[in-house]
């Protein structure tokens, strides 16, 4: 799970680093954001994008799809 709004490194920077690293590239990513889902967010290539607030049921169902 990746939140786009983080204090040290935002989710965009983290995802770019993740995709550059062959050992981390294959890790499935679920983006959780309170912001608008724009083409920039979609271009991050996550398996799923959830908007906050997320219901517990939807979060668990989404995670279950990837486990």
pLDDT digits (tens, 9 = 90+) for 9-47: 999 999 999 999 999 999 999 999 999 999 999 999 999
Average pLDDT, the chain: 94
- Provide the β-strand partners of residue 2: 31
Q: Which domain holds residue 51?
A: 2-66
Per the listing, tokens 């920077």 go with 13
- CATH number at 53 reads 3.40.50.2300
**Count of domains forming the chain:** 1
Reported pTM: 0.85
List Cβ<8 Å contacts ≥24 apart for 57-62: 62/30
CB atoms within 10 A of CB 59: 14
């Amino acid at each position: 799970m990746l939140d786009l709004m983080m204090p040290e490194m935002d989710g965009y920077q983290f995802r770019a680093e993740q995709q550059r690293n062959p050992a981390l590239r294959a890790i499935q990513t679920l983006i959780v954001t309170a912001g608008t889902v724009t083409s920039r967010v979609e271009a991050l290539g996550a398996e799923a994008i959830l908007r906050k607030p997320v219901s517990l049921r939807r979060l668990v169902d989404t995670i279950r799809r990837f486990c």
